[in-house]
Amino acid sequence: MSILVTGGAGFIGSNFIIEWLQQSPSRVINVDKLTYAGNLQNLSCLAETEPHIFCHGDIADQGFIESLLTEHKPTAIINFAAESHVDRSIHGPGDFIQTNVVGTFNLLQATRNYWEKLEGEDKATFRFLHVSTDEVYGSLAPQDPAFCETTAFAPNSPYSASKAASDHMVRAWHHTYGLPVLTTNCSNNYGPFQFPEKLIPLMIINALNGKPLPIYGDGLNVRDWLYVKDHCAAIRVVLDKGRLGETYNIGGYNEKTNIEIVTTICDILDDLQPNPAGSYKRLITYVTDRPGHDRRYAIDAQKMKNELGWTPDDTFETGIRKTIEWYLNNLTWLESVTSGDYRTWMDRNYEQRNIG
């Protein structure tokens, strides 16, 4: 038995694969294009004997995906592969359209061709789970209720627009072709292996290097933070018990302003790794705001609780301390990612196993 994971060398995908293999004997086929965000070092804790097959390739390559599906016959596909950073989408939206829109389209077509040839129980139990974001719902005012599954889509950035397009296609492939799909829309994640372009790892690495901690605008934009392992557990629950064609909002009930996040990181670093120059808060620097910066995101995760019995294990307070400890204990990973050395490491270790 096997599952196919796309984007499994990225932040959430690699956490998902590590946890999946701890809990299930089924094989994982990991398809990743290895963009700047894909790092096979994230999976270096997996023993050679683990049933993990890495396949270097693009979800937009329909023929390649179809050949993998025919060869490995997975019982489910979990689609993490995406361009994922809002700032990059503002500066260069083309890659976001190519992977998140065209890529998801080609992946759906390949999946449909594979699924339509399955029979009996194999066809009935097959699942395509699409991992998406709460950013498809747009921005909330301070008094607005949190996003629920029926909130209208109103994406504001090229990133969220491309993810919204992918969510719509997944829905359409279910209603039109009967493809057995599930979609999850999750809030901001944080935890081990997050690329240091996103707020939390960027602030940790800059603080440790004595660099400015750039706060966009007034620092009062609100995000709803979820520890990555809670997100991975939620995805496993949706895969197991979710109703076909449904969407599920996943969030941690941890609404925080950006300035609260950054001062919390400084406080924990002051405790764990005090700097003789003084508190890390001295590095906080307000900078020009991000264009179209969404003011507030918040997730109502009642459907996950009431229908599937999922609630997060970690609060922001427990998750952020574990995360900072992880980065402090994995400084070589952080240095390798920021210097680009992880590319050389991957060339050395994975050249023979690439088939894309």
Interface residues toward ligand NAD, by CB under 6 A? 6-7, 9-13, 31-35, 37-38, 58-60, 80-84, 99, 103, 131-133, 163, 186, 188-189, 195
Binding partner of residue 223 among ligand NAD, ligand TYD, none, CB under 5 to 8 Å per kind?
ligand TYD
Q: Strand, helix or coil at 23?
A: helix
Query: Cβ distance 268 to 318 under 8 Å?
Result: no
Among 36, 153, 216, 326, binds ligand TYD (CB under 6 A): 216
For the bound state, the minimum distance from the C-beta of residue 128 to ligand NAD, rounded and expressed in Å, comes to 14
* Residue type (1 letter), 6: T
The DSSP element (H or E) to which 250 belongs, if any, is strand 247-250
Contacts to ligand TYD from residues 225-284, by CB under 6 A:
258
Instruction: Enter the DSSP assignment of 111.
Output: H
Q: Using CA atoms, how far apart are residues 241 and 239, in angstroms rounded to an integer? A: 6
The window from 142-150, 178-186, 198-206, 324-332 that contacts ligand TYD (CB under 6 A) reads: 198-206
Q: Which residues contact 7 (CB under 8 A, 6 or more apart)?
A: 13, 31, 32, 38, 59, 79, 80, 81, 82
Taking CB under 6 A as the rule, which mask of x and - marks residues 173-192 in contact with ligand TYD?
Answer: ---------------x----
Q: Which of 256, 267, 245, 259 is nearest to 321 (CA)?
A: 267
Among 199, 226, 237, 266, binds ligand TYD (CB under 6 A): 199
159 is an active site residue: yes
Question: Which C-beta is closer to ligand NAD: that of 163 or that of 229?
Answer: 163
In residues, how long is the chain? Answer: 356
Among the listed residues 58, 61, 135, 255, the single catalytic one is 135
Contacts to ligand TYD from residues 283-312, by CB under 6 A:
290
SS3 content of the chain, % helix, strand, coil (to 5): 50, 15, 35
The window from 17-25, 215-223, 304-312, 320-328 that contacts ligand TYD (CB under 6 A) reads: 215-223
Among the listed residues 32, 61, 83, 159, the single catalytic one is 159
121 is an active site residue: no
Binding partner of residue 153 among ligand TYD, ligand NAD, none, CB under 5 to 8 Å per kind?
none
Q: Using CA atoms, how far apart are residues 112 and 141, in angstroms rounded to an integer? A: 40
Binding partner of residue 86 among ligand TYD, ligand NAD, none, CB under 5 to 8 Å per kind?
ligand TYD
Phi, psi of 108 (to 5 degrees): -65, -40
Query: Cβ distance 140 to 147 under 8 Å?
Result: yes
Any idea what the Cα angle at residue 174 is, between residues 240 and 135, rounded to 5°?
Answer: 75
Q: Strand, helix or coil at 351?
A: helix
135 is an active site residue: yes
Query: Cβ distance 90 to 158 under 8 Å?
Result: yes
Q: Using CA atoms, how far apart are residues 50 and 48, in angstroms rounded to an integer? A: 6
Binding partner of residue 199 among ligand NAD, ligand TYD, none, CB under 5 to 8 Å per kind?
ligand TYD
Q: Strand, helix or coil at 286?
A: strand
Q: Does 82 bind ligand TYD (CB under 6 A)?
A: no
Question: Which C-beta is closer to ligand TYD: that of 61 or that of 83?
Answer: 83
- Checking DSSP bridges between strand 247-250 and strand 284-287, what pairing results, if any? unpaired
Question: Which C-beta is closer to ligand NAD: that of 102 or that of 118?
Answer: 102
How many chain residues touch ligand TYD (CB under 6 A)? Answer: 12
Binding partner of residue 356 among ligand TYD, ligand NAD, none, CB under 5 to 8 Å per kind?
none
Q: Does 86 bind ligand TYD (CB under 6 A)?
A: yes
Positions marked active-site: 134-135, 159
Binding site for ligand TYD (CB under 6 A): 86, 188, 198-199, 202, 214-216, 221, 223, 258, 290
